[in-house]
């Protein structure tokens, strides 16, 4: 079998001409990533695949967005739930750049504060956390000053 | 930029020292008309008689007028008004907001909304920075220094916000030692122990109270707060675990002082009250001078 044939068989979602492919998203977090990036609100062509085989993650999801190129700040928002995500920037069907996501210093409006007595869980306030540990993922709430740890992270 | 006081870490070491100096000046001369013509909003979304009276005394001694409410039952919060709207409205009327709220982070949020300065008079179990500053003033007054203090913290070290803030503020001064005395259930949270470790500050943990307080310069007693327990049986187990009585103070250092943020329940026997080492009622009085100092600093009046 030729390499081209193998490649075609391997492709489970169609190639795009220009845009971004986000790969290595944990399958269970696909729709959260879509929400965080606001992909449910844009008019670009989007294709995604989920429950695809992944050596690293077991199962993974992949998103292809045509004619969309993300800013670093924008894409880093998904680092909390897709820390191994990789971005391929596509121009004329070729990968011209690869990017990895990085956990930002400040997380705004994505994560709920785990503290039920925090004001952000009682009024309409956009949450804001400073990342105090990127390794074990600990987020300090700007308001109640409590630390939300990785196992307590819940998205809006 | 307006100078809110929301967390104890909002102030630098220089500001701590400035507040101590101003508090001493106000103690010498408590009645100064620095707030003449100014209106201060005192918003107590949960009742706290001591803190409210202390603030309102400080405002009165500075010649300011007070508007506000003493419990949420008499505010628009009962009609469902958001904190956001209350602060928006009140900040139109007043030159300064003093606020107590049961939710954690409420004061930081209020400060974001308000164009006038906000002083946090307690936000849930989070912060009570003016208490910490009056505790520091009490230490400075009785010991003559904030350096080299051996501070024993006793009781509810898990939920007690005053001990957490005091620990952080005192860590700015030279060579402190902390001794934490608490039952297993109420030990100092890891995050504060990690903070001390990172700063290279010595601390020791104990579950026994007697026979170890002879080294103390300050014994900071705290109340085991019933409202923090979801299981009443757990509360019953620990509520009377550490009771300081007069006999226990026999071999303590001559300079030692007993502090307590008040109200006390059973933690300090009344036979301690007449001992010259008991300082908690004077500590409360120091709160008025310290709050005068904080208000003057916040409003750029001194």
pLDDT in tens, A26-76: 999 999 999 989 999 999 999 999 999 888 778 999 999 999 999 988 888
Say yes or no for a CB contact (<8 Å) between B105 and A143: yes
Question: So what's the ipTM on this one?
Answer: 0.89
B108 catalytic per annotation: no
Q: What is the pLDDT of residue A46?
A: 94
Q: Is B264 a catalytic residue?
A: no
Query: Would you place residue A18 in the very low, low, confident or very high pLDDT band (cuts 50, 70, 90)?
Result: very high
B105 at the A interface (CB within 8 A)? Answer: yes
Q: CB B105 to CB A119 under 8 A? A: yes
Lookup result for tokens 């909390």:
A80
DSSP calls for chain B: ----B-SGGGS-HHHHHHHHHHHHHHHHS----TTTT-EEEEEESS--HHHHHHHHHHHHHTT-EEEEESSGGGSGGGGT--HHHHHHHHHHH-SEEEEEESSBTHHHHHHHH-SS-EEEEEETTTB-HHHHHHHHHHHHHHHS-SSS-EEEEES-TTT-HHHHHHHHHHTTSSS-EEEEE--GGGPPPHHHHHHHHHHT-EEEEES--TTSGGG-SEEEE----GGG-S-HHHHHHHTTS--B-GGGGTTS-TT-EEE--S--SSSB-GGGTTSTTB-HHHHHHHHHHHHHHHHHHHTT--
Inter-chain contact B105–A147, Cβ cutoff 8 Å? no
Closest chain B residue by Cα to residue A126: B109
Instruction: Tell me if residue B79 is catalytic.
Output: yes
pLDDT digits (tens, 9 = 90+) for B162-206: 999 999 999 999 999 999 999 888 899 988 999 999 999 999 999
- Nearest chain A CA: its distance from B84 CA (Å): 8
Catalytic, B291? Answer no
Q: How confident is the model at residue A8 (pLDDT cuts 50, 70, 90)?
A: low
How would residue B77 be classed by pLDDT, with cut points 50, 70 and 90? confident
Using the predicted structure, report yes or no on whether residue B132 has a pLDDT greater than 80: yes
A50 touches chain B (CB under 8 A): no
Question: How many other C-beta atoms lie within 10 A of the C-beta of residue A114?
Answer: 18
- State the nearest Cα–Cα gap between B26 and chain A, in angstroms: 32
Interface test with chain A among B103, B111, B113, B192, by most A beta carbons within 10 Å: B103
Q: Which residue of A has its CA nearest to B106?
A: A119
Residues of B in contact with A116 (CB under 8 A): none
Catalytic, out of B52, B61, B100, B297: B100
Report whether pLDDT(B272) > 90: yes
> Of the candidates B7, B106, B191, which has its C-beta nearest A119's C-beta?
B106
Beta carbons of A145 and B124 less than 8 Å apart? no
Mean pLDDT of chain B: 93
In this prediction, residue B72 carries a pLDDT of 72
Determine the pLDDT at residue B224.
Answer: 82
Catalytic residue among B13, B36, B50, B226: B50
When scoring A143, A146, A147, A148 by the number of chain B Cβ atoms within 10 A, the one with the most, hence best to mutate, is: A143
Cα separation values, B281 from A77, B65, B262, B263, B287, Å: 51, 26, 9, 10, 10
- Does the pLDDT at position B147 exceed 80? yes
Q: Across the A/B interface, how many CB contacts are shorter than 8 Å?
A: 51
Confidence of residue B298 (pLDDT cuts 50, 70, 90): very high
Rounded CA gap, B260 and B153, in Å?
10
Could you tell me which of B118, B170, B149, B161 has the C-alpha nearest to residue B261?
B161
- Per-residue pLDDT averaged across B257-281, rounded? 95
B65 is catalytic: no
Q: Which of A117, A143, A146 sits opposite B109 (nearest CB)?
A: A143
């Amino acid at each position: 079998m030729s390499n081209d044939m193998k490649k075609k068989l391997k492709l489970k979602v169609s190639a795009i001409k220009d845009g971004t492919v986000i790969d290595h998203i944990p399958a269970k977090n696909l729709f959260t990533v879509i929400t965080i990036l606001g992909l449910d609100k844009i008019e670009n062509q989007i294709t995604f695949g989920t429950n695809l085989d992944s050596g690293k993650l077991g199962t993974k999801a992949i998103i292809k967005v045509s004619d969309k190129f993300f800013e670093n700040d924008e894409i880093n928002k998904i680092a909390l739930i897709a820390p191994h995500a990789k971005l391929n920037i596509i121009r004329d069907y070729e990968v011209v750049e690869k990017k990895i996501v990085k956990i930002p210093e400040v997380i705004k409006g994505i994560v709920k504060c785990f503290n039920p007595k925090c004001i952000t869980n009682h009024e309409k306030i956009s949450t804001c956390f400073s990342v105090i540990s990127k390794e074990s993922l600990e987020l300090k709430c700007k308001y109640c000053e409590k630390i939300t740890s990785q196992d307590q992270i819940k998205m809006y | 930029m307006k100078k809110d006081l929301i967390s104890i870490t909002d102030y630098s070491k220089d500001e701590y020292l400035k507040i101590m100096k101003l508090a001493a000046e106000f103690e010498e001369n408590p009645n100064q008309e620095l707030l003449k013509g100014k209106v201060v909003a005192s918003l107590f979304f949960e009742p706290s008689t001591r803190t409210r009276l202390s603030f309102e005394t400080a405002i009165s001694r500075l010649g300011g007028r007070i508007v506000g409410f003493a419990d949420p039952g008499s505010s628009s919060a009962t009609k469902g008004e958001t904190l956001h709207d209350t602060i928006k409205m009140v900040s139109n009327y007043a030159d300064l907001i003093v606020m107590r709220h049961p939710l954690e982070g409420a004061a930081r949020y209020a400060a974001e909304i308000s164009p006038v300065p906000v002083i946090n008079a307690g936000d849930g179990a989070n912060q009570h920075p003016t208490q910490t500053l009056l505790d520091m003033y009490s230490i400075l007054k009785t010991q003559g220094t904030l350096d080299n203090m051996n501070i024993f913290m006793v009781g509810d070290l898990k939920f007690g916000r005053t001990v957490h803030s005091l620990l952080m503020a005192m860590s700015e001064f030279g060579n402190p030692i902390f001794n934490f005395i608490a039952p297993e259930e109420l030990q100092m949270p890891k995050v504060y122990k990690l903070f001390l470790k990172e700063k290279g500050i010595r601390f020791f943990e104990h579950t026994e109270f007697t026979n170890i307080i002879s080294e103390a310069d300050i014994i900071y007693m705290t109340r085991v707060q019933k409202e923090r327990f979801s299981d009443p049986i757990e509360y019953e187990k620990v509520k009377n675990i550490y009771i300081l009585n007069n006999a226990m103070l026999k071999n303590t250092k001559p300079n030692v002082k007993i502090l307590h943020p008040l109200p006390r329940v059973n933690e300090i026997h009344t036979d301690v009250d007449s001992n010259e080492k008991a300082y908690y009622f004077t500590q409360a009085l120091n709160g008025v001078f310290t709050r005068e100092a904080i208000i003057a600093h916040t409003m750029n009046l001194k």
